Structure 1
Amino acid sequence: MKLLLLTLAALLLLSQLTPGGTQRCWNLLGRCRHKCSKKERVYVYCVNSKMCCVKPRYQPKQRPWSF
């Protein structure tokens, strides 16, 4: 019975870990990665020195400087 409970506890903990899960950044719209996909761009860098890969539609538009 103890072995069954130990096995269930281990499976429960392992189910919480997602393989390939990455840290979120840029108001949860980006992901911290070593390399961005083709449809993403780097806007800022994460705390763990990885790139924050964000889709272009979520990045702020650049405005020309006004003097």
Structure 2
Amino acid sequence: MKLLLLTLAALLLLSQLTPGGTQKCWNLRGRCRHRCSRKERVYVYCTNGKMCCVKPRYQPKEKPWPI
């Protein structure tokens, strides 16, 4: 029984790790990817030619031009 619990705990910890990882961009708020998810937008491009996918809440707000 202890071996089963130990195995389940190890599998749970391993499932939390992300394989590979991606390069970070935009002040470490975005990730360089070929395609962005539905909840992300492209703001700039990375040095490797991929898109920097950033969540909208981390993008700077556009200010209207002063009149």
Matches within 5 A, 1:1-67: 19-67=19-67
CA distance in 2, matches of 1:38, 1:27: 21
CA distance in 2, matches of 1:22, 1:46: 11
CA distance in 2, matches of 1:32, 1:66: 34
Structure 2: unaligned runs, 5 residues or longer: 1-17
Q: Which runs of 4+ in 1 moved over 4 A?
A: none
1:47 partner SS: coil
CA distance in 2, matches of 1:53, 1:34: 9
How far did 1:52 drift? 0.2
Q: What per-residue deviation string (whole Å, max 9, x for no partner) do you get for residues 12-55 of structure 1? A: xxxxxx62310000010000000000000000000000000000
Report the count of equivalent residues: 50
TM-score by length of 2: 0.69
Q: RMSD of the alignment, in Å?
A: 1.2
CA distance in 2, matches of 1:43, 1:25: 10
CA distance in 1, matches of 2:48, 2:26: 14
